[in-house]
Structure formats: C-alpha cells, structure tokens
Structure 1
Amino acid sequence: MRRLFLVMLGTLVAIAAVAGLDAHLRGEERSAGLLLEGDVQGIKHGGFGMAAAPQTFPEGGAPRILVLGDSVTHGTVVRRDRAWPAQAEALLRARGEDARLLNLAVPGYDVIQSASTLRHRGWALEPDLVVYAAYINDHVETRLLNVGQAPVYVGVALDPRMFGALTPLLEPLLPHSALVRRLAGARAAHMGQALWDAQVQGDLGFFERGLDQLAAELAAHDVPGFIYLIPPHVLADPERAWCETGDVARETCAQALARLDDYTRAMTARGLWVASALPALQASGRKAFWASPRQDDPDHPGRAGHIVLAVGFVEALDRFRAEAASAAIPAP
C-alpha cells in the first residue's frame, strides 16, 4: 500500500511538473506576442509559423507602408518593436518623415500566404505603398495546420522525419501543449540541414503563382509596391566564415545565392520592382552575423541585423521613389 501511495504521489508530482513547465512556456509564447487565431477570413496559418498577436495601428494622415513577409520580418528572436520595419520607421522619422510601417509579417508564411494577407487584411488598412519582404524559402509551400476558431498558440508543425512513428501521436498535441511545440522546435533545429534541403528544393512555379497573385492585387487596387529581397544574414560575414565551416554550410550559402538569382528573375519578369538587402548586409560586416543568444540560426538575425536590414530598406525606398517618379508613391 505504501508503495502504491508513493507511485501515485510521484505520478501526481510529475504531472504537476509537466503542467507547470507547459504553463511557463505558454507564458513565453504570449510575451513574444505570437498568437494563432485559427483560420481567419480564409487565411490558413503556416504550420511552421504563428500569427502575430492583434495589433492596433495608429490613425492619422501619415503615409502607410504595409509590409508583408515571414519570421525574418516579423522579428523572430527579437521583439517586434525592434524588427527591421520598426527600425526603418524610426530612421525615416529621424530624418523628418512621418511615415508608418505596418508590419503584417507572420512567421512561417510563404508567398501565397503573404498575398492572401494583403487581400484579406492589408487593404483594410488603406496602405499607400505595399512592400513584400521575400525570404529565400518563400517558394516552399508551408504545411498548413487548421486549429479551428479558438485562439491557440502554435509554434511548429511536425515534419514526419522529426519523431518517426511518434509523429502522428504528437502532432495533434501541437495546438494544446507549449511543451510539445518547444520539443518540436528543438528537434527542427537539430535537423536543420535536412529541413533546409526540403525548403530550398521547393517549387519555383508555386512562387511564381504567388507573385502573380501579388501583382494582381496591386494592379486591382492601383497601389504601388515593390519587393525587398532578404538573404540569410550569415552572408553579411565578409570572410564568409560560417559559409566555410564545412560542406553543409558551403552548400547552404551557395543555394541561398542561387535562390536570390531565381527570385530576382521571377520578379523582374513580372514587372515587379525589386531591391536586395544583400549589399547592405555585406557592407555591414559582421554586424548582422548571428542571432543572439542563439548561435546556430542562419536565418534569423539579431537586433543589430535588423538595424542593417532597416538601413537597406530605407535606401531601397529612396531608390524606388526616385525611379518610379509617381505621385501615387507616398512622399512624407
């Protein structure tokens, strides 16, 4: 009887410990401002991403620049108010321009999901200019995770290779357990190269269809827009130290550069104006190199990297305004 009591007590303590850890991780998700609201207005949220928590954008007559994108633009590993769109707005204000950058980027979104965001959410904000911040995996269709209508936190969808036979058992727990989401994220980081290979081998035809949708939206609403093409921030290293750490890193960097070329060709073929952040990254040296405190993330820059991306964006915006020479482009 004593042994049974101890077993039951130990079980209860273990359950309480797991529940406490799950609650703590859920709190971290909330503090990061990441909330999945379900399938809203026809937009299914990416399995590898979370919808940004509801934002209240200030009213007023300042020109509005709507920004679409994924986790790099949303600000993963930094607070959203320190992501590059917020930094770019601060730079514009510092030189006397009263512009608003409205960041609708969502972690995990692909090109078609970004176009859908513009269609279902973006136009209601009455932007004067639309910027699609494309990252080099946007041609890979994000796995969709339909979680219904109740607000729920979802961090990552399980790749079948992550947990083998346990994957079908764990995936239903994703909408309900922050601990499972964290385990899945850790496993994804451990499998980094295998998942990267799946990303870069996506369908460029899918990307082109998304660009067609984006171009059609801009034309239908007669609002100007351009592409801000963002490469992996590790390419900022002038000596390419990370790119030369082994065959995996070298292949990753080579694939990234090739994908930038593919994207640029697809965009220009559709008459879309495109500016790459690569020159700004390369000019920055190591400032954009590595996201702190994580030292194994070639995709998400830290705060210094977001400042570099902001500088590159402002330069791109100035060039776009000068080349377009159109009164429809906001000129605060």
Structure 2
Amino acid sequence: MESRSRTRRYGGWWWLVHPVLLLLLAAPASADPRAPLIWAFGDSLTAGYGLPPAQGFPAQLQAELRRQGVPATVRNGGVAGDTAAQGRARLRWGLRGLKARPDLVIVELGANDMLRGLPVAQAEANLDRILTELRARNIPVLLAGMRAAPNMGGDYARAFEGMYPALAKKHRVALYPFFLDGVAGRRALFQADGLHPDPRGVAIIVRRIVSAVRRALK
C-alpha cells in the first residue's frame, strides 16, 4: 500500500526517475582513475641525448599517447652510454625512484654493448637478469630490439639481433624488433654525430612504436 501511494504521489515522475535509479544501482564500481605509468629504461636513445627534454623520446611518446586518448605518464629512465650491465646495476634503485609501480617498462638496451664490440653473451645475460627482475615484480615489459652495425660482421650481427626475440620468448614479454625502425639509414633524421635521432627522427620512432606500447599496456 505504501509503495502504491508513493507512486500516486509522485505521479509520472516516478517512471522517469525509477529507471535512472536502477542504472545507478546496477553500475559497476568506477575504474582506477590513476594514469598508466610507463618507464622508458634505456640508454641515450631513450634519454634524448642532444635534445631538449620536450623533444626526447619520453616526452614525445607521452604526448602521442595522450593524443590517442591514453592518459599515460612516461618517465625517462635513459642514461647515455649505458650498456646492459650498467642498466642492470641501476635497475632496482631506478624503480625505487619512481615511487610507484610502473604499468609498463620499455627496455631499450644493448646498442652500446654492440658499438663497443662486447660479447653478445654478456649483453644477453644482463638483459636476462633485467627481465627476470621485472617479471619477479610482475611488471609488464616491452623489449625494444636493436640491429648490429654493418662493420660488426655477420656472425656477430646474427647473434646480437637474435638475442632479443630469444629473450622475449623466454620471458614471455612483448617485443618491438627494432627501436630505430623507419629512421635507421636516413641521415637527414639524425643529429650531427650520426648516431642519435633529431626531433623528427624521434617523432617517427614514436609513431612506429606507439601501437606496440598500447598493446603492451593492456
């Protein structure tokens, strides 16, 4: 009786309000509003060597992700000149410095090992330890591969370039085969040193890798 009297009291408004109330009651709890945190962990290519911070890889990747509707924050974890061993040595304190668990780590290391002619097995072992640490912390990874310079010889190149897919398969992480895809071999897209992309080159890298980053975030 009370429910019928209330229905009469509010008249037609009940039929407008009632479905809305049902929708509100049935709505799932809102998702975590925290923006995804991405850590670009690598060498001079992620550090943005020779470029203003706003034109480096982390800043350009963050801007492109946000343009595509992904409100991510990309933190710079690149140190110019780092080998895989040096990256491994600073991994733990670098993660502590973030003060939050990253939703994705882009691992871009190995180029300096190759340029110095260091043994591939050494670079692979250090990358393996990095990926093992990140997996132990349950942190998703996008592993960015690199190609060997032509003067390194065929045997070295095959071993070096093959370690990235092998590690990605072993650790079951996403692989972006070649970080400099679309830029390598195009001299006009590099700075005067011929090693580091200029802002236009970084923009191409970002456009090529952003889909892989978005997939890895999921």
Q: Structure 1-normalised TM-score?
A: 0.48
Q: Tell me the equivalent position of 1:281.
A: 182
Distance 1:287 1:101, change over 3 A: farther
Matched, 1:110 2:119: no
Matched, 1:130 2:105: yes
Shift of 1:87: 0.5
**Contact 1:288/1:301 (<8 A) preserved:** no
**Contact 2:87/2:109 (<8 A) preserved:** no
Q: Tell me the equivalent position of 2:21.
A: none
Q: Residues of 1 paired with 2:128 and 2:84: CA distance?
A: 10
Matched, 1:313 2:209: yes
Shift of 1:259: 6.1
Q: Tell me the equivalent position of 1:84.
A: 57
Distance 1:256 1:279, change over 3 A: farther
Which SS does the other structure have where 2:39 is aligned?
Answer: strand
Shift of 1:267: 1.9
- Code of the residue aligned with 1:277 in structure 2: it is F
- Code of the residue aligned with 1:204 in structure 2: it is V
Q: Residues of 2 paired with 1:279 and 1:71: CA distance?
A: 13
**Contact 1:227/1:274 (<8 A) preserved:** yes
Structure 1 residue ranges without an equivalent (≥5): 1-59, 141-195, 233-248, 322-328
- Code of the residue aligned with 2:207 in structure 1: it is V
Q: Tell me the equivalent position of 1:206.
A: 122
Q: Tell me the equivalent position of 2:144.
A: 228
Matched, 1:64 2:37: yes
Matched, 1:267 2:139: no
Q: Tell me the equivalent position of 1:149.
A: none
Q: Residues of 2 paired with 1:263 and 1:314: CA distance?
A: 23
Q: Structure 2-normalised TM-score?
A: 0.70
Which SS does the other structure have where 1:305 is aligned?
Answer: helix
Larger radius of gyration: 2
Which SS does the other structure have where 1:108 is aligned?
Answer: coil
**Contact 1:69/1:104 (<8 A) preserved:** yes
Q: CA RMSD in A?
A: 3.0
Shift of 1:112: 2.4
**Contact 1:289/1:305 (<8 A) preserved:** yes
- Code of the residue aligned with 2:196 in structure 1: it is H
Distance 1:304 1:230, change over 3 A: farther
Write the mapping of 1:13-24 to structure 2, written as runs, cut at 5 A.
none
**Contact 1:115/1:210 (<8 A) preserved:** yes
Q: Residues of 2 paired with 1:279 and 1:74: CA distance?
A: 14
Distance 1:299 1:134, change over 3 A: same
Shift of 1:256: 8.9
Distance 1:134 1:119, change over 3 A: same
Distance 1:263 1:80, change over 3 A: farther
Q: Residues of 2 paired with 1:118 and 1:63: CA distance?
A: 20
For this pair of structures, how many residues does the alignment match?
A: 183
Which SS does the other structure have where 1:131 is aligned?
Answer: strand
Write the mapping of 1:228-267 to structure 2, written as runs, cut at 5 A.
228-231=144-147, 251=151, 258=158, 261-267=161-167
Distance 1:136 1:217, change over 3 A: same
User: Deviations along 1:248-283, whole A, 9 cap, x unmatched?
Assistant: x8536979964652332442353243112368416x
Identity %: 26
**Contact 1:290/1:302 (<8 A) preserved:** yes
Distance 1:112 1:276, change over 3 A: same
